[in-house]
Amino acid sequence: MSEQTYLRRDKAAAYLQERYGAYTIDTLAKLASVGGGPKFRKLGPFPVYLLSDLDEWAQSRMTRTVSSTSELGPIKSGAAK
């Protein structure tokens, strides 16, 4: 597949699963609604994703390389204290 290949949501989720081991069709649909997911376009009624946008988004969600979880520091909670 080339960088300009557009994938419908089911194929985009399968690509993310195969390449990164994460994310489902339902997750992509939810994030398309509430925000925070990969960039997409609409082709008629269908959301379509570029491979480069899927890779950029997935990689932006990864931490740096570490040898131990203690190197990542404390987990930040979204809840107000």
pLDDT tens for residues 3-52?
588 999 999 999 999 999 999 999 999 999 999 999 999 999 999 999 99
pLDDT for 80 equals: 45
Averaging pLDDT over each range in 22-26, 63-67, 75-79, which range is the top one? 22-26
Tell me the pTM.
0.80
Is 54 in contact with 12 (CB distance < 8 Å)?
Answer: yes
Closest Cα partner for 46 from 13, 2, 15, 7?
7
How far apart CA 55 and CA 49 sit, in angstroms, is 10
pLDDT over 90 at 1, yes or no: no
